[in-house]
Amino acid sequence: MRAIREAMGPMHERSAALPAVSPAVESLVRQMIAQVADKWTMLVLEALEEHGTLRFGEVGRTVGGISQKMLTKTLREMERDGLVTRIVHPVIPPHVDYTLTELGRELSAAFCGVWTWAETYYEQVSAARKAFRAREEG
């Protein structure tokens, strides 16, 4: 993390004003990046951001292609980290709703920048990949 801040230097006006990072915060950053780098977490974040409160099955259908086991694991991890709220309604059959918390909405907004970056630089990344493949293939 420190290396990133130093590399940003004058490009980032807050870099000089930021205090030293505690090892606990650095550990949390690494854990959250690992979790959000998991495609299912990103897709669940997106589904809940776009559609609001969803039932378990609706989350699965909205995300698409995710097994019940992986959806359960992903939602539990997100609930553990305070990204979603799980509300169980005492009815038969069980009715469970999932909603992004404020933390989840903030994380979603932060990673919205990745989508914006991808839209902005899609052509450049595609061209770089094509050029790389051409070099590799000889």
**Residue 72 and residue 16 share a domain:** no
**Residue 127 and residue 70 share a domain:** yes
Entry pTM:
0.69
CB atoms within 10 A of CB 123: 9
**Residue 63 and residue 14 share a domain:** no
Mean pLDDT of 41-59: 95
- Counting Cα atoms < 13 Å in the Cβ hemisphere of 50 gives 11
Per the CB < 8 A criterion, the answer to whether 41 and 59 are in contact is: no
List, in sequence order, every beta strand (DSSP E) within 1-138.
Answer: 54-55, 84-89, 95-100
Q: How confident is the model at residue 48 (pLDDT cuts 50, 70, 90)?
A: very high
Cα–Cα distance between 24 and 21 in angstroms, integer? 8
Please give the pLDDT value at position 57. Answer: 95
**Residue 127 and residue 92 share a domain:** yes
**Residue 47 and residue 31 share a domain:** no
**Residue 30 and residue 10 share a domain:** yes
| CATH code where residue 47 lies | 1.10.10.10
Cα–Cα distance between 120 and 118 in angstroms, integer? 5
**Residue 109 and residue 64 share a domain:** yes
**Residue 44 and residue 30 share a domain:** no
106-121 pLDDT tens trace: 988 888 787 788 889 9
Count of domains observed in the chain: 2
**Residue 75 and residue 29 share a domain:** no
Residue 14 pLDDT > 50, yes or no? no
Residue with tokens 């409160």: 53
CB atoms within 10 A of CB 127: 11
The boundaries of the domain holding residue 28 are: 1-37
Report CA-CA distances (Å) from 123 to 25, 100, 117. Answer: 35, 32, 11
**pLDDT: which is higher, 87 or 22:** 87
**Residue 48 and residue 115 share a domain:** yes
Cα–Cα distance between 86 and 38 in angstroms, integer? 20
**Residue 72 and residue 9 share a domain:** no
Please give the pLDDT value at position 17. Answer: 62
**Residue 29 and residue 11 share a domain:** yes
